[in-house]
């Protein structure tokens, strides 16, 4: 049996079990014309803030879907929240990085303007367009993964801004190939925000590493191999999910 597809709505708390509601707009169009959901099929509605409503399709229109609400639940936010500071990566690899990070459990994403980034997000419309692409990618990846909490994609940060944020986190780690400490060996908090910094294709330079570790971050590595900037976050998040119990049944 496949998992019921998830569609986003504004407010799950406004829905009442036993009633019918109309799923319209882009989500309704996707459900009716792309997914071709038909009466009797199951689906889930989510507000991206922990609210979930199981529903059953009643009727399909051209651009909308009428559904009957079965039950409404709320999933608490995870005790340990992981924010990925993902360095800007050129081409489609940046979107691949945030897509896989979302599927692997990132709770928030910060676009990081690291020194060695080949990709550059200029201020103004061009940078806004790139940020919008990341946000759209994360939104769709969260839906694909059936995540009740949709990660927030913040405004781009410089290394100095990222270092200033380290102090407010329960723990902060920088993936770096020269680190002698493994991610599997560090102490993790029982609750709070964990910041995970992933550098660009050229790596995190020594000055940046000094700023971040000077602020309290710990340089770590995943293993003997060096991963691409577009895949490192996904692998690290998997390791963290196992260690924090997030993937426990």
Q: Is the pLDDT of residue 29 over 90?
A: yes
Give pLDDT tens digits for 144-190: 999 999 999 999 999 999 999 999 999 999 999 989 999 999 999 99
pLDDT score for 1: 54
Superfamily of domain 6-74: Hypothetical PUA domain-like; domain 1 (2.40.240.20)
pLDDT score for 90: 87
User: CB count, 10 Å around CB of 248?
Assistant: 7
Q: What are the phi and psi torsion angles at 77 (to 5°)? A: -65, 150
**How does residue 64 score in pLDDT terms, banded at 50, 70 and 90?**
very high
**How does residue 108 score in pLDDT terms, banded at 50, 70 and 90?**
very high
Residue of 4, 73, 72 whose CA lies nearest to 37? 4
Q: Is the pLDDT of residue 109 over 70?
A: yes
Pairing of strands 51-60, 192-198: unpaired
Give pLDDT tens digits for 191-249: 999 999 999 998 999 999 999 999 999 999 998 888 899 999 999 999 999 999 888 75
Residue carrying the six token digits 């993790």: 188
Separation between Cα atoms, residue 24 and residue 95, nearest integer Å: 27
pLDDT score for 62: 87
Please state the domain extents for the chain.
6-74, 80-244
Give pLDDT tens digits for 32-51: 999 999 999 999 999 999 99
Contact 16, 51 (CB under 8 A): no
CATH class in words for 80-244: alpha beta
């Amino acid at each position: 049996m496949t998992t019921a597809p998830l569609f986003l709505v504004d407010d799950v708390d406004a829905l009442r079990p036993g009633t019918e509601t109309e799923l319209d707009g882009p989500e309704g169009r996707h459900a009716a014309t792309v997914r071709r959901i038909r009466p009797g099929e199951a689906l889930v509605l989510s507000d991206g803030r922990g609210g979930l409503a199981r529903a059953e399709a009643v009727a399909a229109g051209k651009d909308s879907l009428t559904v009957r609400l079965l039950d409404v639940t709320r999933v608490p936010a995870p005790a340990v929240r992981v924010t990925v500071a993902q360095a800007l990566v050129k081409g489609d690899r940046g979107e691949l990085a945030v897509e896989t990070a979302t599927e692997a459990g990132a709770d928030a994403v910060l676009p990081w303007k690291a020194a060695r980034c080949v990709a550059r997000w200029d201020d103004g419309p061009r940078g806004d367009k790139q940020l919008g692409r990341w946000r759209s990618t994360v939104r769709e990846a969260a839906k694909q993964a059936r995540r009740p909490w949709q990660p927030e994609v913040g405004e781009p940060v410089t290394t100095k801004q990222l270092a200033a944020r380290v102090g407010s986190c329960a723990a902060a780690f920088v993936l770096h190939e020269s680190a002698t400490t493994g991610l599997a060996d560090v102490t993790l908090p029982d609750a709070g925000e964990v910041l995970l910094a992933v550098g660009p294709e050229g790596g995190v330079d020594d000055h940046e590493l000094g700023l971040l570790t000077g602020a309290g971050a710990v340089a770590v590595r995943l293993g003997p191999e060096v991963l691409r900037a577009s895949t490192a976050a996904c692998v690290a998040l998997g390791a963290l999910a196992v260690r924090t119990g997030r993937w426990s049944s």
